[in-house]
Structure 1
Amino acid sequence: MTEIIETDAGAARITWHRAKKARLVLAVSHGAGGGIEARDLQALAAVLPAHGVTVARVEQPWRVAGKKMAPAPKTLDVGWRGIRPALAEEGLPVISGGRSAGARVACRTAAELGAHAVLALAFPLHPPGKPEKSRAEELLGTGAPTLVVQGGNDPWGRPEEFPEGAYELLEVPYGDHGFAVPKRADISQEQALAIITDGVVRWAVSLV
């Protein structure tokens, strides 16, 4: 089921994957270079409803409008704020999440929107090759239980680069920024996705 939501940044779109007996809602948005068809977002939408978590995959207004370039972070935040009422209608605690740029949005707005928890997939800790331009402050300021899922070979921030903080970090071995693993890796692509879904299920269940 899809739903169009009008926000101050334009029309956003939610694709719902509802659990029969939902206890939580996980709202996840995409990054600046892709949409909700990302492999990790699809995997979570396929697996989590069976564990009592309704998944809402959110397309930011710029994607719905067919634009190829993401707007400034402040505009992304505006779009994310705008879908909050639709999530609240479910009457359940909301996990605010996203991948890459979407993870930054979730982190930046978590406290303001009263997120029950935050799921940061492929958090872009810094631009590739520029570790001095850290975005750790966004991650450390969520004010809510936070799970970071990071590829072991993510050029936007490898797990060992992340600072200590009040969050949990799950590593996907060999994974790049899109959690793709090379054919020479000791794990398959399916196993990599299972690490993500199993880890998120365990973490989400612990929040209830």
Structure 2
Amino acid sequence: MTEEAPGRAAGGGTEVVRTDAGDARITWRPARQPRLVLAVSHGAGGGVEARDLQALARTLPAHGVTVALVEQPWRVAGKKVAPAPKTLDTGWRGVWPALTGPGLPVISAGRSAGARVACRTATELGAHAVLALSFPLHPPGKPEKSRAQELLDAGVPTLVVQGGNDPFGKPAEFPEGSYELVEVPSGDHGFAVPKRADITQERALEVITGAVVQWAASLG
């Protein structure tokens, strides 16, 4: 963490944070009167430009939640392939002090591989809660290779937002647990909906942001 992290969180902007996995990058979207920080990272196949992450960054600050968009070191370095889960966890641990710098409770969040990281490290890092976007319950077509235990072991209040047609795990495939689950009708792993769907792309994003706003407001 840099000494200027709290200032960046308050005023917005971008900072680079050194970790044992390389340099990570945080882009801050501050709330005027923040009560929480949502720290959210991307998946293995994309960056923080993902439609759901950008929708949250646009919406949550008006509801008292500062959003920190976190780019993992492999992405900052321009690599096209994500490293092993252990290295992803190392990067997340390294950026955590900068995320807690503003002195607010932090929701550990991520999409896809980033959601797995958030679940695996939540208790260790003292996360206030976990937001799992498009949690990859299993590889496509291989339900026997379940990653459900990572989700079940998060140990803090958890919200899963899952596309109804996600090949990495449809909502009905998720096991019983203490987490909450919200379905985005017709959404795929990136929450894209087909043109023939009964829901528009804009509405799909509203389902995501609305669910997160309501859940964040319920956190003590």
What is the aligned counterpart of 1:103 among 93, 115, 128?
A: 115
Indicate the residue corresponding to 2:5 in structure 1.
none
Indicate the residue corresponding to 1:204 in structure 2.
216
For normalisation by structure 1, the TM-score amounts to 1.00
Q: Deviations over 1:130-172 (max 9, x none)?
A: 0000000000001100000000000000000000000000000
What is the aligned counterpart of 1:164 among 155, 165, 176?
A: 176
What is the aligned counterpart of 2:54 among 36, 42, 45?
A: 42
Indicate the residue corresponding to 1:118 in structure 2.
130
SS at match of 1:83: helix
Q: How far did 1:88 drift?
A: 1.3
For 1:102 and 1:165, locate their aligned partners in 2 and report how far apart those are by CA, in whole Å: 20
SS at match of 2:102: coil
Mapping of 1:141-152 within 5 angstroms?
141-152=153-164
Mapping of 1:26-37 within 5 angstroms?
26-37=38-49
What is the aligned counterpart of 2:33 among 10, 21, 34?
A: 21
For normalisation by structure 2, the TM-score amounts to 0.94
Between 100-109 and 82-91, report the one with greater CA deviation. Answer: 82-91
Q: How far did 1:87 drift?
A: 1.0
Indicate the residue corresponding to 1:52 in structure 2.
64
Shift >6 Å, 4+ stretches: none
Q: Extract unaligned runs of 5+ from structure 2.
A: 1-12
1:180 maps to 2:192 = yes
For 1:85 and 1:155, locate their aligned partners in 2 and report how far apart those are by CA, in whole Å: 34
Give percent identity, aligned residues only: 79
Q: Deviations over 1:33-62 (max 9, x none)?
A: 000000000000000000000000000000
SS at match of 2:202: helix
Root mean square deviation of aligned Cα: 0.4
